[in-house]
Amino acid sequence: MHTKTIVELAIGLAQGQFSSVELTQHYLARIEKYDPLLNSFITITPEHALEQAKQADQLRAKGQAHQLTGIPFAHKDIFCTKGIKTTCGSKMLDNFVAPYNATVVDKCNAAGLVLAGKTNMDEFAMGSSAENSYYGPTKNPWDLTTVPGGSSGGSAAAVAARLIPAATGTDTGGSIRQPAALTGLTGLKPTYGRVSRYGMIAFASSLDQGGFFTLSAEDAALLLNVIAGFDEKDSTSIDTPVPNYADSLNKPIKGIKIGIPKEYFAEGLDAKIAEKIKAAMQMLEKEGAIFIDISLPTTSLAIPTYYVIAPAECSSNLSRYDGVRFGYRAENPKDLEDLYKRSRSESFGEEVKRRIMIGTYALSAGYYDAYYLKAQKVRRLINNDFQNAFKKVDIILGPTTPTTAFKLGEKAQDPVSMYLSDIYTIAVNLAGLPGMSIPIGFVNQLPVGMQLIGNHFCEQHMLNLAHHYQQLTDWHKQLPEKF
């Protein structure tokens, strides 16, 4: 059962091959058996899941089920789930039971998805390896000595090991796409403003966006239908119609113009990954796709721009964690200042403190213009590059990551080396564009991903191209032997 996609599972449920309770029990048993090897879950919710599964079966018996009713699912522990512990991977929220649901959670519940648990992540979404969690690192199911990527590493590992058919993630600088590439999954980050951020714990408010990991582009289209849409409760939510993303999956790709940025194939990219991408391009060319060379000259500026803007916004967002109204409070504070300082210092991890420090420095008096304001201007130049490219092409294609999964601990001591691994994903967040990563093969037995970038609100073009590629290949059907 667990090798099936959501589309296949939905058919199984509709045809009565198994009930939602049986399906949920199957996944819960796999989680219990295999998660100790991966540490991909922070909280598992078996009673809640089985209760939802039972209700799903009842709805189905009455003929009131939708396509996704009764499919098991997991949420990254950054989404508030009412009555369920929501930690954001941090000691600061270890005692936090969310009093409300994120809009994404409400939408998934309304679609009938069954919540099996909350997945592990880099603390407050800051990291590219899932090593920065208070709850310990998550391992990559393809090689347990390597990272699954981050910050949504728990969701990626859980789906890759088939402990769950899909899971949500969030992506601020690549935190869905990079883990998808390192674990052989389809990972989608929608356009900024496409998916509500209400109840999604904030890291960098102008960059964060919720999305998910699935086994196929077809599944991704179904889930995007569920979570996309305007939300009054999110003041950055964009009110623009949501197409049915499943409708355009099979549109012919003949004549589709795909841009290849020369800067993405320069030094720094593993030559074997470049080969895999060229092979994927040849396949798409046979189907009639037209490749056009483009240039994104500001590519190398994305990292310094991001690592000023994101920490600046994070330092502001994390100022709400003060030990007063919720979350961790230090014991026996001697005065209010001590309460603030020790509550924060005793419960935030290293990377979080580092980014708060970077952000606070960049925003402080005398430095705001030189760093933050300057970075915002360069951000516009980066966006302009993409807009110029989209005048000539429909989609941009390139690598998702410069290397395959690195070893646990390899980059943990050198933050800048970790930051540099975000080179292909980060600019997409700065420009607010949608992006996805799909599996295109293996190098040294580790998965390799390819990134597709669309123009604003053009997710359907990326999904269409990805679906065609997945009809021609079966990389997305591979699962790690151990699981």
Catalytic residues: 76, 151, 175
Spatial distance between the Cα atoms of 415 and 127, rounded to a whole number of angstroms: 9
CA distance 165 to 256: 30
Among 339, 410, 442, 473, the residue binding other proteins under the rule CB under 8 A is 339
Which amino acid, residue 456?
H
Least distance in angstroms from the C-beta of 335 to other proteins: 5
In the complex with other proteins, the residue whose CB is nearer, 95 or 282, is 95
Structure tokens that stand for 359 in this block: 């952000």
Among 159, 358, 423, 452, binds other proteins (CB under 8 A): 358
Least Å distance between CB 197 and other proteins? 13
For other proteins, the binding residue among 286, 325, 391, 481 (CB under 8 A) is 325
Q: Which is nearer to other proteins, 95 or 250 (CB)?
A: 95
Contact 124, 203 (CB under 8 A): yes
Does position 94 bind other proteins by CB under 8 A? no
Name the burial class of residue 201, with classes exposed (0-12), middle (13-18) and buried (19+) by CB atoms within 10 angstroms of its CB.
buried
Contact region with other proteins (CB under 8 A), list: 39-47, 153-161, 361-369, 441-449: 361-369
Out of 326, 410, 471, 478, point to the residue binding other proteins (CB under 8 A). Answer: 326
Report CA 425 to chain centroid distance, whole Å: 11
When the beta carbons of 18 and 100 are compared against other proteins, the nearer one is: 100
- Which helix (H) or strand (E) covers residue 272, if one does? helix 271-286
Burial of 314 (0-12, 13-18, 19+ CB in 10 A): buried
**Which position among 267, 335, 474, 481 is part of the footprint of other proteins (CB under 8 A)?**
335
Residues between 98 and 117 that touch other proteins (CB under 8 A): 99
- Provide the sign of the torsion angle of the four alpha carbons 99, 105, 106, 111, taken in this order: negative
Q: Is 83 in the site for other proteins (CB under 8 A)?
A: no
- Using alpha carbons only, how large is the chain's radius of gyration in Å? 21
Contact flag: residue 453 with other proteins (CB under 8 A): no
Number of residues that bind other proteins (CB under 8 A): 71
SS3 100: coil
Of 319, 387, 388, 445, the residue at the interface with other proteins (CB under 8 A) is: 319
CA atoms within 13 A on the CB side of 332: 0
Q: Is 61 in the site for other proteins (CB under 8 A)?
A: no
* Contact pattern from residue 221 through residue 250 relative to other proteins, giving x for each residue in contact according to CB under 8 A and a dash for the rest: -----------x--xx-x------------
Residue 41: which H helix or E strand, with range?
strand 41-44
Does 47 help bind other proteins (rule: CB under 8 A)? no
Site membership for other proteins, residue 336 (CB under 8 A) = yes
Q: Which of residues 275-314 bind other proteins (CB under 8 A)?
A: 300-301, 303-305, 307-308
Positions 110 through 169 that interact with other proteins (CB under 8 A):
none
Among 25, 109, 248, 376, binds other proteins (CB under 8 A): 376
Residues 6+ apart with CB under 8 A from 328: 91, 92, 93, 94, 95, 321, 343, 346, 347
CB of 367 to other proteins, least distance (A): 8
Instruction: Determine the Cα–Cα distance for residues 440 and 29; give it in Å rounded to an integer.
Output: 30
Q: Which of 141, 149, 150, 323 binds other proteins (CB under 8 A)?
A: 323
59 sits near other proteins (criterion: CB under 8 A): no
Are β-strands 186-189 and 435-443 bridged in parallel, bridged antiparallel, or unpaired? antiparallel
The nearer residue to other proteins, 71 or 382, going by C-beta atoms, is 382
- Report d(CA 88, CA 320) in Å as an integer: 14
CB 337 within 8 A of CB 375: no
DSSP state of 407: B
Taking CB under 8 A as the binding criterion, the range among 1-9, 11-19, 59-67, 427-435 that sits at the site for other proteins is 427-435
Restricted to residues 168-207, the positions that interact with other proteins (CB under 8 A) are 192-193, 206-207
Q: Residue 75 Cβ, how far from other proteins at the closest point, in Å?
A: 19
Q: How far is the CB of 314 from other proteins (least distance, A)?
A: 11
At a CB cut-off of 8 Å and minimum separation 6, what does 306 contact? 173, 207, 422, 426, 429, 430
Burial of 472 (0-12, 13-18, 19+ CB in 10 A): exposed
Out of 76, 197, 344, 468, name the contact with other proteins by CB under 8 A: 344
* Cα 52 to Cα 46: distance, rounded to the nearest angstrom: 10
Q: Which among 227, 231, 214 has a CA at the least distance from the CA of 176?
A: 214
Q: How many whole angstroms separate alpha carbon 227 and alpha carbon 45?
A: 21
| Identified binder of other proteins from the candidate list 276, 456, 467, 476, rule CB under 8 A | 456
Q: Is 315 in the site for other proteins (CB under 8 A)?
A: yes
Binding of residue 354 to other proteins (CB under 8 A): yes
Q: Is 431 in the site for other proteins (CB under 8 A)?
A: yes
Select from 370, 388, 409, 445 the one that contacts other proteins (CB under 8 A).
370
Buried b (16+ CB within 10 A) or exposed e, 71-80: bbbbbbbbbb
